[in-house]
Chain A
Amino acid sequence: MEYLLQVKDLKKYFPIKKGLFSKTVNYVKAVDGISFNIVNGETLGLVGESGCGKSTAGRTILRLYEPTSGEVIIDEIKFTDLDKESLRKKRKDMQIIFQDPYASLNPRLSAGEIIGRAIDIHNIASGKERQEKILSLLDTVGLSSSHYNRYPNEFSGGQRQRIGIARALAVNPKLIICDEAVSALDVSIQAQIINLLEDIQEKYKITYIFIAHNMAVVKHISNNIAVMYLGKIVEMADKDELFDNPMHPYTRALLSAIPVPDPSIKHKRVRLQGDVPSPIDIPEGCRFCKRCPEKTDVCEKIEPELIDLGGGHMVACHNRR
């Protein structure tokens, strides 16, 4: 299988500075060594609690944050090694769609201009061709030419999200990172956008990293799912495998927490104690052990590695060997 994207032991630490001379006293280990590969045209779902480093991972892959260490290889090119100018040129391969449909569009530019600017940056088209490209992009995301001259404040949340998608598509990317792209939307609109994303993937063979905390949504759209906890991937598998046979206690808790829109099902919940610990003082041993209902002695001492248990089902847990 050919991988479009390979991420190898990617880390992103944010320094915490203090004192008169801004000395770095500590780090927020937002992403603490994650590795995965995505096959061209597939979708990787990335789930986990708030603050576990999903967005940071996404942005670090795009080098919107400079990675602390690790490698990102896209299409055989080592993205992490590019110098500033080549990086700028190469950026069109990877795009991002944001959660907040309000903050993600420049309120001073019309929908057409927003997409047009993306085209201009990489000189993808000009003149009449450019115009046509913008219109066709608008059409692709389900907007019409009448929207061309409208400003973001005249659009609803769902429509804004469509403009954001069109902007990302404008540079013909190979990969799009959807950072909670549907989380802020109402269920009815959410479904529209998910459908749109699927249509686009089919049409252009685009690869997605789909970040979300809603397991059901992720399951719907992904091929594989990675579960993150405190900067690390704790479980990764094919989506059906993951849902049918969750291995990591955290994954189980997550799955059981999903509210089911069916009053007849009263299922048992795995209750987790406490909250996510801070990524500054990461506990020794297994990161999850403080909240884990199944923890053993070894969990507190040794950090488990992510191990393939067969069939690409990878888990980082001492109790699943």
Chain B
Amino acid sequence: MLNYIIKRLIQLIPVLIGVSIVVFLMIYLIPGDAAEIIGGPAATADEVANIRIKLGLDRPMHEQYLRYMSGVLKGDLGFSFQTGQPVSEAIKTRYVNTFKLAVFSAVVAAIIGVCAGIIAAVKQNSWFDYLCMSVATLGISAPTFWIGLMLIIVFCVKFKIFTISGFTGQIWTKEGLKGMVLPAVTLGFNSAAMIARMTRSSVLEIIHQDYIHTARAKGLSEKIVVLKHALKNSLIPIVTVIGVNFGSLLGGTVVVESVFAINGIGRLMVQAINARDFPMVQGAVLIVATTFVLVNLITDIIYAAIDPRISYK
């Protein structure tokens, strides 16, 4: 198992190198550069040229990339072009915020989604099933920004239950939790819907398997049949959606982060690319990509924990 994990981590390297090359090319192929942004509209050509030299943007492309990557190998993600802040530091605070938000909403979404999905599957074709699935379909059909705006109108403007910018990144205090609720709901709405649908269909599929008939024939109560035998078997696709969703939560929180004024990695990425802040974009993308790959790895490990037939040697 340990070997397997190490192997997977080694496989991460080519992916990250690939990603970094893509980012690098991307930044350099799109028009505009960091120096112009830093200089701003009033800067003179000299001023811009000086900035360019200072940032090393006057060097040939491959040299810039190699210089950057050799830094990365030494564990140095460089300094932001725009603010001069160490990239690792800038990313850390933002990443932690996004990560907490993503985890919180993923957990809530998973709990709600799985429960709703199971009930819907067990009561297939009942009114609950229809309601649940209609809501879930609506849930995956609604744009995140729209959900966010609607929640703000209802809970912050009309009823003043929550504050919009209450997100502090703390989960353990009451206030912190309160600030987490709306963004987490906005973010988790889609995932919950998706998880509910996946749970339902995978439980429905499993429930027609022979071993479920066997379990019933043993005289087990329906509760045990569903919660023990069917659910555990349905877990693999469910874990997969949760994993995939979590991965995209990390990359796709830009909207929620701007609507709820959260200082997260998504917004950082958007700002950084708008400012052509290459080290920052690179750092942010690498961390998001790494997380994505790690989440995949964790999903795979969970598979092995669930299913004894899967063993990684």
Contacts and interface: CB of A to CB of B under 8 A. Distances in A.
Direct contact of A and B (CB under 8 A): yes
B7 interface: yes
Interface residues of A, number: 2
A18 B7 CA distance: 12
A65 to B, nearest CB: 26
Interface string A12-38: 000000101000000000000000000
A20 B7 CA distance: 7
A18 B313 CA distance: 9
Contacts of B7: 20
Interface string B9-24: 0100000000000000
Contacts of B313: 18
Interface in A1-59: 18, 20
A50 B27 CA distance: 59
A18 B311 CA distance: 13
Contacts, number: 3
Contacts of A20: 7, 10
Nearest to B7: A20
Interface in B265-313: 313
Nearest to B6: A20
A104 to B, nearest CB: 24
A20 B13 CA distance: 13
A224 to B, nearest CB: 39
Interface residues of B, number: 3
**Closest 3 pairs between A and B when the two form their complex, measured CB to CB:** A20-B7, A20-B10, A18-B313
Interface of B: 7, 10, 313
A20 B14 CA distance: 13
Contacts of A18: 313
A20 B4 CA distance: 9
A276 B313 CA distance: 26
A18 B312 CA distance: 11
A20 B6 CA distance: 10
Nearest to A18: B313
3 contacts: A18-B313, A20-B7, A20-B10
Nearest to A20: B7
Nearest to A19: B7
A20 B10 CA distance: 9
A59 B313 CA distance: 31
Interface string A217-232: 0000000000000000
B95 to A, nearest CB: 30
B4 to A, nearest CB: 10
A157 B137 CA distance: 39
B11 to A, nearest CB: 8
A20 B8 CA distance: 9
A295 B10 CA distance: 51
A241 B156 CA distance: 91
A72 B271 CA distance: 68
A238 to B, nearest CB: 42
Nearest to B10: A20
Interface string A245-278: 0000000000000000000000000000000000
Nearest to B11: A20
A35 B313 CA distance: 38
Contacts of B10: 20
A239 B7 CA distance: 54
A20 B312 CA distance: 12
A287 to B, nearest CB: 27
A20 B5 CA distance: 12
B246 to A, nearest CB: 27
Interface in A98-137: none
A219 to B, nearest CB: 33
A128 to B, nearest CB: 48
B291 to A, nearest CB: 23
A151 B311 CA distance: 41
A18 to B, nearest CB: 8
A259 B179 CA distance: 73
A257 B183 CA distance: 68
B27 to A, nearest CB: 32
Nearest to B313: A18
A20 B313 CA distance: 11
A18 B3 CA distance: 12
A18 B10 CA distance: 16
B268 to A, nearest CB: 35
Interface in A187-232: none
A79 to B, nearest CB: 38
A258 to B, nearest CB: 27
